[in-house]
Amino acid sequence: MAPTARSSLALAEAAPRIDPEAIAFDVDGVIADTMRLFLEIAAEEYGIRGIRYEDITTYNVEDCLDLPGQVIEGLLRRLIYGGYRGDLRPLPGAPEVVRRIAGRAGSVLFVTARPISGPVESFLRRVFPDGAGGFELVATGSFAAKTEILKRRGITHFVEDRLETCFAVDREGIRPVVFAQPWNRQPHPFLEVQSWREIEELIQW
Ligand SMILES: [Mg+2]
């Protein structure tokens, strides 16, 4: 796999532990296995098979997949506005770790750049039918608006899979934690995790 596995553990060991009240999370590609659903919708509704998860090597999928723009647009619209047959599912370990953070911090903050929160809100309610001890979802409608929310909430660390957003929050003094995905394998200077277990390791319990 990617060369980044090199440093993630070393970095994690060297990094200061994170206050559970001061960490927040992106949704797509961090707690939600959004690309898996993207591939399911492509296969089931468009008959597009043979694309592997690892083939998605850029965040803007049109840059790495050889599909007509209209098809990609349709797929993304489907993802954002819902109405697909499949289900958005959590990435392995995410529900347990979110629950543990909520138990310690009282609430967990999710910040998505999606324009509407609906499908993501129902995803979170499905994963945490009991509320998991508290979570809050903010849909900003833009990548740029994420930083402002994080600053206002006193967040020091933000787990994110889109490198450009990581650089943007870093410029504003919030430490990004890159959640490793095939589409963020470019070099970066940030703390990186490969899994929710590694996020758990970073928290000051
Ligand atoms: Mg994301």
**The last residue of a domain, from among 49, 81, 113:** 81
Say if residue 49 is in the same domain as residue 107.
Answer: no
Let me know whether 49 and 139 are in one domain.
no
- Whether residues 68 and 164 share a domain: the answer is no
Cβ contacts of 108 within 8 Å, gap of 6 or more:
24, 25, 98, 101, 102, 132, 134, 135, 136
pLDDT at residue 81, rounded to an integer: 86
155: CATH: 3.40.50.1000
Q: Do 131 and 162 lie in a common domain? A: yes
pLDDT score at 1? 42
The answer to whether residues 20 and 117 belong to one domain is yes
102 and 66 in one domain? no
Q: How far is the CA of 112 from the centre of ligand 1 (A)?
A: 7
Measured in Å, residue 166 CA sits from the centre of ligand 1 at: 10
Q: Do 150 and 75 belong to one domain? A: no
pTM over the 0.85 mark = yes
Query: 163-171 vs 145-152: helix axis angle to the nearest 10?
Result: 50
Please tell me the total number of residues recorded for the chain in this structure. 205
Distance, CA of 184 to CA of 2 (rounded, Å):
10
Q: What integer pLDDT is reported at residue 70 of this predicted model?
A: 92
> pLDDT tens string for the chain (205 positions)?
444 444 555 555 566 799 999 999 999 999 999 999 999 999 999 999 999 999 999 999 999 999 999 999 999 998 888 877 778 999 999 999 999 999 999 999 999 999 999 999 999 999 999 988 899 999 999 999 999 999 999 999 999 999 999 999 999 999 999 999 999 999 999 999 999 999 999 999 9
Tell me how far the alpha carbon of residue 160 lies from the centroid of ligand 1, in angstroms: 6
pLDDT for residue 80 = 87
Backbone phi and psi for residue 195, each to the nearest 5 degrees, phi listed first:
-165, 170
Q: How far is the CA of 28 from the centre of ligand 1 (A)?
A: 4
Q: Are 26 and 118 members of one domain?
A: yes
Indicate whether 196 and 113 sit together in one domain: yes
* Domain shared by 137 and 65, yes or no: no
pLDDT at 86: 78
Do residues 96 and 144 both lie within one domain? yes
Sheet holding 108-112, edge to edge: 135-139, 108-112, 23-25, 157-160, 175-179, 191-193
Residue 50 lies in domain: 34-81
Last residue of some domain: 43, 62, 81?
A: 81
The alpha carbon of 29 and the centre of ligand 1 are apart by a number of angstroms equal to 5
- Domain co-membership, 61 together with 133: no
**Count: domains in the chain:** 2
**61 alpha carbon to ligand 1 midpoint, in Å?**
13
Ligand 1 centroid to Cα of residue 5, in Å, is 20
Which pLDDT belongs to residue 8? 56
Domain boundary among 50, 81, 112: 81
